[in-house]
A and B are shown apart, each in its own frame.
Chain A
């Protein structure tokens, strides 16, 4: 998207009437290039993390604007990034070679790298030895749409300090985001951004760390601007914002049941919300009304939907075979798109090619395919609108402050026979009305006049699994059947898995886990090829009991062998991917020639707020045993204060599920 800013490169004046201090806060290191001294090497270990393989001594980003930059005649932001790292041992040597990638060509002017400076410092015999990064250490490469510069720092050994400074130009009014936190601890991370108040930005902060520097300095500037034919001179205030974090711990390793660390790390991001000056005012996406209008006009989103698209009517006839608009014909249209189109991996809310091309080539990205589905639905007489959302690995979108960059996925909302459905035709394993797990990540927005919000949270959906095991004494010995009906998401996983392996391989690996006195008979999957149905799998088995004592665990294939919340302390909240409800039923006869010596006791446990429930019911009349266990988790998000309760809850479950039924041979 190109911003309508064209500059006449003439005269720029800056007037510095500062209001604000510039005294360095305590702990702020000297961040000039080359200011490494022997004392930098003094620490053998850093108190922030004694096990770290490397420590980022500082990471400094400075953003300044240039009303007309170089020969681009374009307003640009310039980021100067300067980083200094202490490599403590060889495990961190990968930090000493990295790749800088920039987009090669596109409709927008992409950012480009202007300058790279680097050096390795070593302390040898008390003296500082500097080895500069020169041309022989930089390799230029091209990969797909990217230009790459690969840098290899020379003379690196354990204890070395490396530093680099890099200058990146961002044509336009885009301010790059800043991540304070990463895989290594950072002693000082600072972002210093100066913007003219010509541009208004919404600033998003994320993370649990508190800034040690959060300052604002005002100044003034004046320069010529040009927007869409409007030409003038802007003069006004500039704002300089500095944020810094000190002693930022490395991102903890992902803990079980965290959606994505990207949602938890400390970062700042910016999105343009308005251009303001006398005579010219333009707001960008300050509220959903405007955003929906904007999207509706875009040629990569809304405007293809408004086109006549007459060719669609002919194609539709073949798909719906003349059925009137109903849930049945809608299901046919959906199934057609899902089964005949190939979706590329690139997630975006924008189309990559004209609708007709998508149809002819039978391929596209998520937006191409689902927007095509909407066009088909509309032409078939249904009310259909796009719905945008942010997927789990993309981070959280903040619904109150619409930032288009936060959204990366499009699905369809369609009404048929009075019912509303959410459809995603981009994945071959999705059934009608089903959405992939990654879509359940917060509020989704319908892009039409209703401006509706759709709740797609992790606890908006409950995954239900049912398992049944039956065992009896038969003429051919002690035998039975196992059957599991998977929930929606487990079915999706199984369908994807069965594209990579065969059912034979699946059951063969299952058989490998079985005890030597158990034998698998016939086996199979049901509904693998019918995405609208849940997947079931089943097998028959025979047991050959000979020992005096048999320890028989009534729960097959789904015990919690370990407490997923084993760690004593937890750093991130617990995020279940969905709510779940697992039921397991066993009806068995006592094996012939044996009697029940020990039967586990029935029990139940629940979380303090009853959002978690575990029941274990078992009884026996000596000849048969009935057993039923059910685990329900009705909430998907548990805060840090609820962790201990969750830990105890699962600890109980793990212990209980370990208990076997003990049979003893009758003499």
Chain B
């Protein structure tokens, strides 16, 4: 074991320099770390103290030196908080090239914004934000915050080098867990194992990165998040807003979420009557699903409201029936309730949505989801249903959620399933042009174009959204 890690030494030196009144200066940065870098992390320590399944404390402190204008965005100070993450205090300081303090701010000097916007109407996820600006390079910013986690369902990731234009002098993650509490973690591109130290009352895990230069990714290189060093954390036992759970497997995650959903699929009598009126006369399950999906689409619409545990617990089916709105999980839950009433087997599915979203890591059970859909069985076919769309046909998901692993919530908790793949056979673009070229060189032609599968997503959205006159004008 190395006693004198160079990075730790540097951190100690810089810390000593600050306490002696001098702010961070760029002189100490090695040339190898300046190359290709917009910003250099002088030090970045995240300490997580897990006190119980219900409580953890996070202390983060970093110092960044910004070398040129490409690194300006790293001077922005932002920190998230919500009902489960209390922000106790924040201190941030801006230093000029000589280490002189230009500005120092505390939590109350920062702007306070809701994370609502683009689809989410109301949420208690919030951000404290401050924009430091300085135009003479290099300059530095330091940041220190103390957060209390009231529930371990979501633990932060450690990403020492979140972008290739960042060079890292030193970054570390230190986690303390009480005795007997197993820490679940997964490392990506991290050489070796974390350092573990037993102390009375618990164990400390440490991951570190030192002297990692910035890089210039080659064209068509994989997305940076696939190449960067990171550590993902998840709890074993945890508690969130009074609901207890464990997270050792996908089934465990499913059981916890299932517990939040329990009892919320009761339909009022009028709704049940509607279901039977619509489907009792139909013989084919596929038809029943289609009819009920259309019923959902015509009678509800999406409004994003996520508050507290309501970020995970859906509005109950009765609420959605009466209000005619809900977010993705409320609408999916309502859909499943309608289907079950018609005697169809159906389940809620948690998924990471987005056309370019990264695939979930099925080898590590933890929360990797941002959306909920539903799936129903008709004979030997699975019919997938995007419940926030009032325009998609039943059984078609589109690029938003196609071709990826997801978590199906069932009576045993949950299991990983894979959504339909739309491949080159399904995604067709056919265009036929029939024309005549006359003697003077002009062409008179008619053109017919067919779009299938994912090819038609964009065009169909436009057709649904715009009136005919506008469509013609745009074409």
A341 B135 Cβ-Cβ under 8 A: yes
**A342 contacts B322, CB within 8 Å?**
no
What's the Cα separation between A123 and B298 when bound, in Å?
Answer: 15
- B451 CB-CB contact with A under 8 Å: no
Q: How far is the CA of A342 from the CA of B116 in the complex (A)?
A: 28
Is there an interface contact between B112 and A360, defined as CB atoms closer than 8 Å? Answer: no
Question: Counting CB contacts under 8 A, is B22 at the interface?
Answer: no
The reply to whether B299 and A156 form a contact with Cβ atoms under 8 Å apart is no
Contacts A154-B322, A154-B323, A342-B134; A91 near B301 (Cβ below 8 A): no
- Residues of chain B contacted by A340 (CB below 8 angstroms): 135-136
- A362: CB under 8 A from chain B? yes
B112 with A154: CB separation less than 8 A: no
Q: Please, what's the 1-or-0 string for A81-101, where 1 marks a CB less than 8 Å from any CB in chain B? A: 000000000110100010000
Contact status of A93 and B301, CB under 8 A, knowing A142-B114, A342-B134: yes
* Contact of A156 with B325 in the complex, beta carbons under 8 Å: yes
Contact A361 B103 (CB under 8 A): yes
Alpha-carbon distance between A143 and B121 when the two chains are bound, in angstroms: 13
**Minimum C-beta distance from B457 to chain A (A):** 17
Check B134–A155 contact: CB distance below 8 A. no
Bitwise, B311-344 to A at CB < 8 A (1) or not (0) is 0000000000011110000000000000000000
CB distance B102 to A152 under 8 Å? no
Instruction: Indicate with 1 or 0, residue by residue over A544-570, a CB within 8 angstroms of chain B CB atoms.
Output: 000000000000000000000001000
Chain A's nearest CB lies how many Å from the CB of B150? 21
For residue A240, CB closer than 8 A to chain B, the reply is: no
What are the residues of chain A within 8 A of B201 when measuring CB–CB?
Answer: none
- Inside 8 A of B301's CB, which chain A residues have their CB? 90, 93, 156
Interface residue from A141, A154, A158, A339 paired with B325 (Cβ < 8 Å): A154
Evaluate contact between A150 and B468: CB separation under 8 angstroms.
no
In the bound complex, residues from chain B placing their C-beta under 8 Å from that of A155 are 322-324
Contact B114 A360 (CB under 8 A): no
Tell me which of B69, B136, B390, B469 contacts A51 (CB under 8 A).
B469
Partner of B121, one of A139, A499, A567: A139
What's the dominant secondary structure at chain B's contact region? mixed
Could you say which of A97, A141, A361, A362 contacts B303, with CB atoms under 8 Å apart? Answer: A97
Of all chain A residues, the one with the shortest Cβ separation from B122 is A139
Q: Are A339 and B113 in contact (CB under 8 A)?
A: no
**Residue-wise interface mask of B (133-147) relative to A, using a CB-CB cutoff of 8 A (1 in contact, 0 not):** 111100000000000
Is the C-beta of B305 less than 8 angstroms from some C-beta in chain A? yes
Partner of B467, one of A51, A90, A137, A158: A51
Most chain B CB within 10 A, of A154, A340, A341, is at: A154
User: Would you call B69 and A499 a contact (CB within 8 A)?
Assistant: yes
Interface size on A, residues (CB 8 A): 31
Does A144 lie at the interface of the complex (its beta carbon under 8 Å from any beta carbon of B)? yes
Are B122 and A150 in contact, with the CB atoms below 8 A?
yes
CB distance from A127 to the nearest CB of B (A): 15
Q: Measured between C-beta atoms, what is the minimum distance from B127 to chain A in Å?
A: 10
Docked pose: A137 CA to B133 CA in angstroms: 40
Which residues between 425 and 475 of chain B lie within 8 Å of chain A, taking CB atoms? 464-465, 467-470, 473
Q: Identify the interface centre among B134, B136, B305, B325: most chain A CB within 10 Å of its CB.
A: B325
- Whether B133 pairs with A144 at a CB distance below 8 angstroms is no
When distances are taken between beta carbons in the complex, the residues of chain A under 8 Å from B133 are 342, 361-363
A567-B473 contact, Cβ under 8 Å, with A340-B136, A361-B102: yes
The proximity string for B residues 205-221 relative to A, scoring 1 for CB distances below 8 Å and 0 otherwise, is 00000000000000000
Q: How far is the CB of B277 from chain A (nearest CB, A)?
A: 14
Q: Are A152 and B112 in contact (CB under 8 A)?
A: no
A394 within 8 A of B: no
Specify which of B122, B134, B303, B390 is in contact with A90 (CB 8 Å cutoff). Answer: B390
User: Is residue B51 contacting chain A, with contact meaning CB distance below 8 A?
Assistant: no
Q: Does A157 contact B (CB under 8 A)?
A: yes
Q: Is the CB of B135 within 8 A of A342?
A: yes
Chain A residues with CB under 8 A of B198: none
Give A51 to B469 CA distance when docked, in angstroms: 8
Checking A141, A342, A567 against B114 with a beta-carbon cut-off of 8 angstroms, the contacting residue is: A141
Query: Smallest Cβ distance from A439 to chain B, in angstroms?
Result: 22
Question: A361-401: which residues lie under 8 A (CB-CB) from chain B?
Answer: 361-363
Q: Once the chains are docked, how many angstroms separate the CA of A568 from the CA of B80?
A: 52
A143 CA / B128 CA spacing, docked (Å): 10
Chain B residues within 8 Å of A105, by CB = none
List residues of chain A with CB within 8 A of the CB of B323: 137, 152, 154-155
Contact with B along A149-190 (1 / 0, CB 8 A): 010101111100000000000000000000000000000000
In whole angstroms, what is the CA distance A253 to B390 when docked?
A: 25
Complex Cα distance, B470 from A253, in Å, reads: 9
The answer to whether A141 touches B116 (Cβ under 8 A) is yes
Q: Which of these, B113, B122, B134, B468, contacts A362 with CB under 8 Å?
A: B134
Please report the number of residue pairs spanning A and B whose Cβ atoms sit closer than 8 angstroms: 71
Q: Can you name the residue of chain A whose Cβ is closest to the Cβ of B219?
A: A508
A361-B103, A363-B133, A499-B69 are contacts. A152–B114 as well, Cβ < 8 Å?
no
Instruction: Determine the distance from Cα of A144 to Cα of B467 in the docked complex, in whole angstroms.
Output: 37
Q: Which residues on B sit within 8 Å (CB–CB) of A148?
A: 114
Contact A157-B324, Cβ < 8 Å, known A139-B305, A150-B121, A152-B303: yes
Q: How far is the CB of A664 from chain B (nearest CB, A)?
A: 15
> What residues of A have a CB within 8 angstroms of the CB of B324 in the complex?
154-157
Q: Assess whether B36 is interfacial by the CB under 8 Å rule.
A: no
A342 to B467, CA, bound (A): 44
How far, in angstroms, from A142 to B303 measured CA to CA in the complex? Answer: 19
- Residues of B near A157 (CB, < 8 A) are 298-299, 324
A339 x B114 contact (CB < 8 A) = no
**Minimal Cβ-Cβ distance residue in A for B300:** A157
A341 to B114, CA, bound (A): 29
B112 touches A144 (CB 8 A): yes
The answer to whether the Cβ of B111 comes within 8 Å of any Cβ in the partner chain is: yes
Q: Are B135 and A152 in contact, CB atoms less than 8 angstroms apart? A: no
| Bound-complex Cα distance A628 to B184 (A) | 71
Most A Cβ at <10 Å: residue of B303, B470, B473? B303
B100-157 with Cβ < 8 A to chain A: 102-103, 111-114, 116, 121-122, 131, 133-136
Separation of A163 and B102 alpha carbons in the complex (Å) = 52
> Interface centre among B112, B322, B324, by most A CB within 10 Å?
B324
Cα A141 to Cα B103 in complex, Å, equals 29
With the chains together, A154 CA to B324 CA distance in Å? 6
Could you tell me if A143 and B114 are in contact, using CB atoms closer than 8 angstroms?
yes
Interface residues of A in 339-355 (CB under 8 A from B): 339-342, 344
Q: What's the Cα separation between A567 and B474 when bound, in Å?
A: 11
Q: Which chain B positions have C-beta within 8 A of A361?
A: 102-103, 133
CA distance in complex: A143, B126 (Å): 9
Q: CB-CB < 8 A to A154: which residues of B?
A: 322-325
- Least Cβ distance of A116 to chain B in Å? 16
Whether A144 and B121, one on each chain, are in contact in the complex, defined by CB atoms closer than 8 angstroms, is no
**A143 to B114 CA separation, bound complex (whole angstroms):** 6
B325 in contact with A152 (CB, 8 Å): yes
Chain B: CB-nearest residue to A140: B122
**Which residues of chain A come closer than 8 Å to B134, judged between CB atoms?**
342, 362
> Which of A152, A253, A360, A567 is B305 in contact with, Cβ under 8 Å?
A152
CA distance A362 to B103 in the complex (A): 11
Q: Complex Cα distance A340/B137, Å?
A: 10
Question: In the complex, A347→B390 CA distance in Å?
Answer: 40
CA distance A156 to B69 in the complex (A): 49
* Distance in angstroms between the alpha carbons of A253 and B473 in the assembled complex: 11
The 7 A-B residue pairs with the shortest CB-CB distance, nearest first, are A342-B133, A51-B467, A139-B122, A154-B323, A363-B133, A340-B135, A143-B114
Q: List 9 A-B contacts (CB under 8 A).
A: A51-B468, A90-B390, A93-B301, A139-B121, A139-B305, A156-B325, A157-B298, A339-B135, A362-B134
Binding site for B on A (CB under 8 A): 51, 90-91, 93, 97, 137, 139, 141-144, 148, 150, 152, 154-158, 253, 339-342, 344, 360-363, 499, 567
Q: Report which B residues bind A (CB closer than 8 A).
A: 69, 102-103, 111-114, 116, 121-122, 131, 133-136, 298-299, 301, 303, 305, 307, 322-325, 390, 464-465, 467-470, 473
Instruction: Taking A143-B113, A253-B470 as given, write out 6 further A-B residue pairs in contact, using a Cβ cutoff of 8 Å, ordered by the A residue number.
Output: A91-B465, A139-B122, A141-B116, A152-B121, A155-B323, A157-B324
